[in-house]
Amino acid sequence: MGAMKKLINDASAVVTDALRGVELAHRGRQRVDHEHKLILRAEPTRPGKVGIVSGGGTGHEPLHGGFVGRGMLDAACCGEVFTSPVPDQVMAATTAVDAGAGVLHIVKNYTGDVLNFEMAAELAGEEGVAVQAVVTDDDVAVQDSLYTAGRRGVGLTVLLEKIVGAAAEEGRDLDALAALGRAVNDRGRSMGVALTSCTVPQVGSPTFELSDDELELGIGIHGEPGRERRPMASARDIAAMLVEPILADRDFTADPAIVLLNGMGATPLLELYLMYGEVGPLLEKAGVRAARVLVGNYITSLDMAGCSLTVLAADDDMLSLWDAPVDTPALRWGA
């Protein structure tokens, strides 16, 4: 086992083994397609409802599988750890959830994800399924990075899946949902920080080295490099490092904001609340009204310590879709 202490059996079977647990824990609410490594709603898509499919590499739980359920996703495709799902998986999810009204793909902007979802959309198109895609690229940290051309898709994906999922439940059509998704993406920004690396099970050693007195600002959710290394700092100073680049990138004073303060996987909730005690006043001072606040682990990076901040300038429609009932393992209210 060495330095990698994880609750796993075989490092090469982590996704397969975890899906068995998902199936047993959420019986009656979710079902698992083990062949294609998909998490689906227990019940088939309501005729006429657009199917919402997301997915990506595993290791970011509860994203995406924890968001499968009424009011949010219809299916999540689970790639290997930090590895894009293959087109076959996405294709299987797409055809499984199509109920005649087409399927929307929600894709984080990583080169492999974008390509594989595109290939799956083409294959599904050949079988007569209408597919559109929304790509999230909310991370203000870096322009291009290890796995991405352009900005990376991170925490905003959670908010977008909730809002678009609620709109699909209302019966909006594929064009409207794609436009809504793009509007959410346009209006949201994120920034993250890591205090430690993460360790990919099949690698067995930390993805990067970070000394005890350093932090990595603008970290990617796979441990890919951020903006810069800085000396370890107080929560107060780290809050400023997250808030400032977000507010510098877009005006958030004109709309009510939905704010997500997200843990990277190994950071306790106590610290996340403490961080929000610093982030909240900074937003307020800058004239940003946090209308809805979510604090917790929603898009993680295996066992990385750290957090990310996402701010969405919501319009009234987005706010009411955010408040709409949702019934998934990881986000549940009004249902």
**Which residues does the annotation mark as catalytic?**
60, 222
Would you say 26 or 151 has its CB closer to a second copy?
A: 26
Task: Identify the H or E element spanning 274.
Answer: helix 269-285
Strand partners, 217: 193, 228
Residue type, 145: S
Element (H, E) at 235: helix 235-249
Which of 195, 219, 247, 318 binds a second copy (CB under 8 A)? It is 195
Please tell me the distance from the alpha carbon of residue 239 to that of residue 246, in angstroms, as a whole number.
11
Exposure of 3 by Cβ count < 10 A (0-12 exposed, 13-18 middle, 19+ buried)?
exposed
Interface pick for a second copy out of 234, 248, 285, 316 (rule CB under 8 A): 234
State how far the Cα of 249 lies from the Cα of 139, in Å rounded to an integer: 10
Number of chain positions touching a second copy (CB under 8 A): 69
Instruction: Give residues 263-322 in contact with a second copy (rule: CB under 8 A).
Output: 265-278, 280-281, 290, 293, 295, 297, 300, 302-303, 305-307
Say whether residue 20 binds a second copy (CB under 8 A): yes
Please count the helices (runs of H) and the strands (runs of E) in the chain.
8, 14
Q: Choose, by CB under 8 A, the member of 57, 66, 226, 245 that binds a second copy.
A: 66
Q: Which of 99, 130, 235, 240 binds a second copy (CB under 8 A)?
A: 235
Q: Which is nearer to a second copy, 139 or 303 (CB)?
A: 303
Q: Residue 148: what residue type?
A: T
Q: Which is nearer to a second copy, 248 or 270 (CB)?
A: 270
Binding a second copy (rule: CB under 8 A), the pick from 100, 122, 250, 333 is 333
* Residue in the block written with tokens 């106590």: 270
Token readout for 150 is 């352009």
| Residue 58 sits in the site that holds a second copy (CB under 8 A) | yes
* Contact criterion met (CB below 8 Å) for 75 and 50: no
CA 264 to chain centre: 11
Nearest alpha-carbon partner for 330 in 103, 6, 45, 26: 26
Give me the 162-181 binding string for a second copy, x by CB under 8 A, dash otherwise: --------------------
List the one residue from 55, 56, 57, 62 that touches a second copy (CB under 8 A): 62
When asked if residue 80 is in the footprint of a second copy (CB under 8 A), the reply is no
Q: Using CB under 8 A as the criterion, which residues of the chain lie in contact with a second copy when the complex forms?
A: 1-3, 5-10, 14, 17-27, 58-59, 61-62, 66, 195-196, 212-213, 215, 232, 234-236, 238, 261, 265-278, 280-281, 290, 293, 295, 297, 300, 302-303, 305-307, 327, 329, 332-335
